[in-house]
Amino acid sequence: MLLKDVAAGQSCVVERIDLPFQMERRLQALGMTRQTEISVVNRKGKGILIVKLRGSRFALGYQITKSITVRMAGGTV
């Protein structure tokens, strides 16, 4: 499933990132790598998410969230 489809309050694990090289590297520098758990804190409109990643919160736009493949994790926020 895609990150844009995860509901607020759910956690997921990053499986694949399909973004341009520079943008993918920037997300990796922020800590978003494969097998990283992400918690969706809030949803703001179509595909725009506030996520918690390794103790920090980030806002990700639709173009990013539709390009990240995830699987559901066991816990919730």
68 close to 16: Cβ distance less than 8 angstroms = yes
**pLDDT exceeds 90 at position 10:** yes
In the prediction, which pLDDT does 3 show?
A: 93
Listed residue (28, 75, 35, 41) closest to 64, CA to CA: 28
3 close to 62: Cβ distance less than 8 angstroms = no
52 close to 77: Cβ distance less than 8 angstroms = yes
User: Average pLDDT for residues 5-22, to the nearest whole number?
Assistant: 95
How many C-beta neighbours within 10 Å does residue 31 have? Answer: 13
Model confidence pLDDT, tens digit, residues 23-76 = 999 999 999 999 999 999 999 888 799 999 999 999 999 999 999 999 998 754
In the prediction, which pLDDT does 30 show?
A: 92
In the prediction, which pLDDT does 45 show?
A: 81
Token pair in block for residue 21: 């090289």
CA 25 from centroid of its chain's CA atoms? 14
